[in-house]
Amino acid sequence: MMTAMTTTERPSPSTTAGERDMLEGWLDFHRATLALKCAGLSDEQLREASAPPSDMTLMGLVRHMAEVERHWFRRVLAGEDAPPIYYTEDDPDLDFVVTEQDTAEEAFATWQAEIARARENAAGRSLDDVNLGGHRRYTEPISLRWILVHMVEEYARHNGHADLIRERIDGATGA
């Protein structure tokens, strides 16, 4: 049986770090939390919906967070032309939709690649740096600080969803 992320270490955010290290520490904590919520589950379990009528799954959350990482750190911060991975303009929620053909291996590899690219794009920048060249959705400049705070919020919200989905799948709570 294929399992997703069978071992995951979760860093503890510092309680005394400076602003940049604090924000990045909390973001890494929440990234690892999502991985922990998925750890040890099969592809089938990662496709299991939370509770009708919702069709939200853990694999869908991983795919969504890959898109979120890509959006904020590549499109908005770096001004890259990075097309969507899973969704389309006609169906902006396709990242949440998983099929029997979708695999945890692909979803996690894509998510981790987007995290690595996010780190690259943020490295060496000031928290006050704003998006390069903008993005068609936003008329105001967006700082790296805002993006990091938003990413912590985005992961925290979805980790709450992941907690409930995981509990429904096998009763596991915590982490």
Q: What is the DSSP string of 8-21?
A: ---PPPPSS--HHH
- List Cβ neighbours of 140 (8 Å cut-off, separation of 6 or more): none
Q: What are the pLDDT digits (tens) for 3-25? A: 444 446 898 998 999 999 999 99
The CATH number of residue 66's host domain is: 1.20.120.450
> In this structure, what are the phi and psi dihedrals at residue 135, rounded to the nearest 5 degrees?
-145, 145
**Residue 13 counted as domain residue:** no
Q: How many domains does the chain have?
A: 1
CA of residue 107 relative to chain centroid, distance: 11
Range of the domain at 104: 19-170
Is residue 47 one of the residues assigned to a domain?
yes
- What per-residue confidence (pLDDT) applies to 8? 65
Q: Is the pLDDT of residue 1 over 50?
A: no
Given CA atoms 173, 44, 160, 8 in this order, what sign does their dihedral have?
Answer: positive
pTM for the full predicted model: 0.92
Largest CA distance in the chain: 48
In a domain, 84, yes or no: yes
Query: Per the omega criterion (within 30 degrees of 0), is the bond before 53 cis?
Result: yes
12 falls within a domain? no
Residue 8 included in any domain: no
Checking if the pLDDT of 43 tops 70, the result is yes
